[in-house]
Amino acid sequence: MADLNFDTKNEERPSVTPVDETETIEQMPENPIQVPEHNHGLSSEELNDANKIKVTIADYKTPLVILFGAPACGKTMTLIRLTRYLQSKGYTVQPETSFRPAYDKNYREMCENFDTMINSEDAAQSTDRISFMLVQVMRNGRPLCQILEGPGEYYFHPGAPQAPFPKYVNAIINSTNRKIWAIMIEPDKTNPRMDVEARRNYVNKIHKLKTKISPRDKVIFIFNKIDETNFVIGPGRINYPETMKRTKYLYPNIFNRFTNENPITRWFAPYNFDFVAFQTGDFSEAADGTLTFEEGHEVYPRKLWDVIMKHIRG
């Protein structure tokens, strides 16, 4: 059974490249990844076997922006902060209700309460509820892109670094949508699960992704939690040379597969990706022990959105 479905109302749509099931089924160890308990929207079958996860992308024409990263790297908060910014600038950001099957009551509730959840001061607590989310960004009723946020465990899991991508991830990779891969990285002391070995394994997983994605796909590296480094000069003013140098140190060889081979342009553009520093905001602990969220300077989501729009325009 295919895990990724496409709306078939338009019979003239292009076909989807078949998923490489050899890798995802025959070589995948049984239950290689322990899914966090908060992913309660998954069916029991999906919890026991990631290859049974079902998602549907009905809009095969609008580009996909895929937030790709390890667990707890900040994908969900990046989506929340970017959504807040876009809504404040007059964009419409709404969840795609058809993305998950009807039995996923958690997803349905997220869709129904999306704006409340996104704009709550306790937005950080909402990350515990989000297992999957696909939102569409529109301007004056015209779709611009779809942003996909999924569990980091299915992209890379520190406890199972060799586990192949499940079927639904491969199907997204092979979909006919134009894609922008937003690959998340972070400082070394902000995620206890990402030690030296885990970061090296994560690089290998990124390189594996690079061998599978289409040459027309675009890549953005997002250095999240930049406020936890010494590279911030002022809001939006980042010492990018030092940030890049630190990234190469923390994630050895991470950019090797993205070298620009063009003999002319490589002199001023050595890599085939964009690099963006990002900060979601500040988290404070209230007297009752809950974490409250205060969004950071809008320059960070603005710069990220500018890069995304550059690739959307082609």
Rounded (to 5) percent helix, strand, coil in the chain: 35, 20, 45
Where is average pLDDT lowest: 24-28, 86-90, 128-132, 265-269?
Answer: 24-28
User: Which residue, 244, 164, 176, 168, is CA-closest to 209?
Assistant: 164
Q: Which residue has better confidence, 6 or 186?
A: 186
- Residue 24 — very low, low, confident or very high, per pLDDT cuts 50/70/90? very low
Query: For a pLDDT cut of 90, what percent of the chain falls above it?
Result: 65
Segments making up each domain of the chain, as ranges: 4-312
Burial of 234 (0-12, 13-18, 19+ CB in 10 A): exposed
Cα dihedral 99, 105, 111, 114 sign: negative
Q: What is the pTM of this model?
A: 0.86
| 43-97 pLDDT per residue, tens | 888 888 889 999 999 999 999 999 999 999 999 999 999 999 999 999 999 999 9
In this model, does residue 264 exceed pLDDT 50?
yes
In this model, does residue 30 exceed pLDDT 60?
no
In this model, does residue 205 exceed pLDDT 60?
yes
The DSSP output letter for 176 is S
Cα dihedral 165, 203, 314, 97 sign: positive
Helix or strand holding residue 67 (H, E): strand 64-68
pLDDT value of residue 207: 97
Secondary structure of residue 159 in the 3-state scheme: coil
In this model, does residue 278 exceed pLDDT 80?
yes
- Residue 10 — very low, low, confident or very high, per pLDDT cuts 50/70/90? very low
pLDDT value of residue 52: 92
Task: Provide the mean pLDDT of the chain.
Answer: 86
4-312 CATH: 3.40.50.300
Secondary structure of residue 48 in the 3-state scheme: helix
Where is average pLDDT lowest: 96-105, 200-209, 225-234?
Answer: 96-105
Look at the block and give the residue holding tokens 């070298």: 259
34 bridge partner residues: none
Give the Cα separation of 177 and 60 in Å (integer): 5
In this model, does residue 14 exceed pLDDT 70?
no
